[in-house]
Amino acid sequence: MKKIAPLPETTEEEPPFKPLTAQEAQKLREQNPPVSPWWVVAGQAVVGLLVALGAWALTGKQNVGWSAAYGALVVVIPAAIFARGLTGRFSSLNAATATVGFMAWEMVKIASSIALLMAAPRWVPALSWPALLVGLVLTMKVYWVALAYRPRARSPRVTKL
């Protein structure tokens, strides 16, 4: 049987990451500001409106435009509910409440999306499911566009002496 050599012992271990100082953390926050969920919701609403108008213009049928608009609303309304829940006063008490709140509001968002989809045939006259799905999918993809076009970091102010 082969013997395995023990690992050499080290007295000084390097931490797996270097903790940031308060100044380094502040600089990092300034360079990478967080994206507001309301920024994403606003982007989704704009894209949803454009998709609905485009569907109506391309087909010349009003019901196709309304179907695409409803598909966008299936994304925008639950996203707005989710954003409101995440930006509430209890969401930032501590890490545990933030995590539980995130999961709870995500479940509310999914349930409200399903409920809106189930109500579509009753609420939209002459519903066009393909147009609804196009509006839904294009509006949902705005998450990535909103991240790409998020507000940039503020440039440092230069003061003249």
Please state, rounded to an integer, the average pLDDT across all residues of the chain: 85
Task: Place 12 in a pLDDT band, splitting at 50, 70 and 90.
Answer: low
Residue-range domain boundaries for the chain = 35-148
For residue 137 the two structure tokens come to 């999918």
Contact 24, 86 (CB under 8 A): no
For residue 63 the two structure tokens come to 């019901």
Q: Note the pLDDT of residue 149.
A: 72
Q: Is 126 left (phi over 0), alpha (psi -120 to 50) or beta?
A: left
Q: Note the pLDDT of residue 24.
A: 84
Contact 143, 80 (CB under 8 A): no
The answer on pLDDT for 160 being more than 60 is no
pTM assigned to the model: 0.74
| Of 12 and 57, the one with more pLDDT | 57
pLDDT per position as a tens digit, 23-56: 888 888 788 777 788 888 999 999 999 999 999 9
Rounded CA separation 96/109 (Å) = 20
Contact 139, 33 (CB under 8 A): no
